[in-house]
């Protein structure tokens, strides 16, 4: 039987490597084309690698937790159709190991290649690996009774083995626990079950975030400056529209949307802030794509609002809400993360009033929007109570100096202070 290598696919633009998070198959498993083989971490996103052949897994060449470059063989498969495929290759057709985009993988529900006869689970758990299907068949386990712990709730081999070890009674009791609406609607806060003395393995998204932060800290010489801004008019505009906007549009008009709008417009005037260091050159990005930080439990995602300068405040508010919801539910894909050119971080949501952000490599800068607080301010030699906010800008000092950074931040400040109930439209 002919042997074929399955290669680490390119799971997104500018992605050069990936980390095997979890193998979904083992040697001896029979898989079909598009059946998922493993879960891979790339740049803060978990994605599945589908098989590109029908065949049998012979050997796993990369261990879980190992990081390899795109194009590296990750497993060997014995295939029946390889001979025909080889003939096609000789005719000039170039084989592609590139996986479908993560967003497409989520929508796919491959049915070919499964050898088991058991019905696939309900509740969106229809993507089952061959080894899981086989184990369930051999042990007469209903997969609908198992809560998956894999990517997007996937049932993994470990989940099935755990159920087998626990015995039939455990399998019967699991649906009752899963059916509790309170548990589903109220996820446990991050760290709730952590106690002193615990040792937590660094894996998955946390490992990818750590790697990215180390790269940014080591490669980018950071400089930092802060400017205090009077956001009183912004608060008045937002409060004027807040209730009617929510009633009409169905989502919140957040303060953060006004800040993102001001930053996006100012980046058009100061394109050096919208650039990146690329070895021996500085690339000025054509589009203004704003990355925003979204936290989900103990994970951090940085999805992108594309062409933010073309959007109204309503359009930005809508995208912020949608991306935040996807992040909290761990449904963001590589496509959501790709292409960011400047990051705006809403640190004020946690009550912070001053912070220094680490730049999202390879971008040139990151802006932290701190908490809006009421403070006494002297205006025309009189004391007034105003809504004040600190904007904190971290810059790549290889690209930017204090002069242009200060000019940019001053321009953002002026835009925010120019918001008014009379002239500012949220549409």
401 tagged catalytic:
yes
**Number of neighbouring beta carbons within 10 Å of residue 330:** 16
Q: Which of 66, 89, 310, 401 is catalytic?
A: 401
Tell me phi and psi for residue 265, to 5 degrees: -70, -35
Cα torsion through 79, 83, 85, 87, rounded to 10: 170
Q: Select from 333, 322, 279 the least CA-distant residue to 42.
A: 333
Q: Is 336 a catalytic residue?
A: no
SS3 346: coil
First to last CA, the chain: 63
DSSP strand E in 127-240: where?
222-230
Structure-token match 């490669």, residue found: 219
Distances (CA, A) of 204 to 38, 103, 138, 218, 239: 13, 19, 31, 22, 40
The DSSP result for 57-118, as a single string, is: EEEE-S-TT-EEETT-EEEEEEESSHHHHHHHHHTTPPP--PPPPHHHHHH----TT----S
Note every long-range contact of 373-378, with CB atoms under 8 Å and residues 24 or more positions apart, other chains counting.
377/230
Report the C-alpha gap between 146 and 139 in whole angstroms.
Answer: 13
Report residue 335 as tokens: 């496509």
d(CA 11, CA 46): 10
User: In which element (H, E) is residue 355 found?
Assistant: none
Question: 78 - beta bridge partners?
Answer: 3, 56
User: Which residues are catalytic, by number?
Assistant: 397, 401
């Amino acid at each position: 039987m002919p042997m074929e290598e399955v290669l680490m696919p390119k799971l997104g633009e500018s992605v050069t490597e990936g980390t095997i998070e979890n193998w979904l198959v083992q040697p001896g498993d029979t898989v079909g084309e598009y059946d998922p083989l493993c879960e891979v971490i790339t740049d803060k996103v978990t994605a599945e690698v589908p098989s590109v052949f029908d065949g049998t897994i012979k050997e796993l060449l990369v261990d879980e937790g190992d990081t390899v470059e795109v194009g590296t063989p990750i497993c060997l498969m014995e295939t029946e159709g390889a001979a025909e495929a080889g003939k096609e290759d000789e005719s000039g057709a170039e084989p592609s190991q590139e996986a479908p985009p993560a967003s497409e993988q989520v929508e796919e529900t491959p049915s070919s290649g499964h050898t088991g006869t058991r019905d696939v689970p309900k509740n969106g758990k229809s993507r089952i690996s061959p080894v899981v299907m086989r184990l369930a068949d051999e042990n007469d386990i209903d997969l609908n009774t198992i809560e998956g712990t894999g990517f997007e709730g996937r049932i993994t081999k470990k989940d099935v083995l755990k159920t087998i070890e626990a015995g039939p009674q455990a399998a019967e009791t699991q649906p009752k626990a899963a059916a509790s609406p309170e548990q589903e609607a109220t996820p446990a806060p991050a760290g709730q079950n952590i106690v002193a003395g615990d040792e937590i393995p660094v894996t998955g998204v946390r490992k990818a975030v750590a790697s990215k932060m180390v790269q940014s800290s080591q490669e980018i010489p950071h400089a930092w400056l802060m400017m205090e801004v009077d956001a009183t008019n912004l608060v008045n505009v937002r409060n004027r529209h807040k209730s009617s906007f929510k009633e009409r549009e169905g989502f919140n008009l957040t303060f953060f949307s006004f800040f993102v709008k001001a930053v996006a417009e100012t980046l058009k005037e100061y394109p050096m802030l919208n650039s990146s260091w690329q070895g021996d050159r500085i690339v000025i990005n054509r589009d203004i794509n704003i990355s925003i930080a979204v936290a989900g439990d103990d994970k951090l995602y940085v999805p992108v609002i594309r062409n933010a300068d073309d959007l109204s405040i309503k359009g930005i508010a809508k995208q912020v809400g949608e991306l935040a919801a996807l992040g909290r539910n761990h449904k963001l894909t590589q496509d959501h993360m790709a292409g960011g050119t400047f990051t705006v971080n809403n640190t004020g949501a946690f009550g912070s009033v001053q912070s220094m952000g680490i730049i999202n490599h390879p971008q040139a800068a990151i802006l932290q929007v701190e908490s809006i607080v009421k403070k006494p301010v002297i205006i025309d030699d009189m004391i007034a109570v105003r809504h004040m906010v600190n904007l904190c800008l971290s810059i790549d000092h290889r690209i930017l100096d204090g002069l242009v950074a200060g000019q940019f931040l001053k321009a953002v400040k002026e835009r925010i202070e120019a918001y008014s109930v009379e002239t500012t439209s949220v549409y």
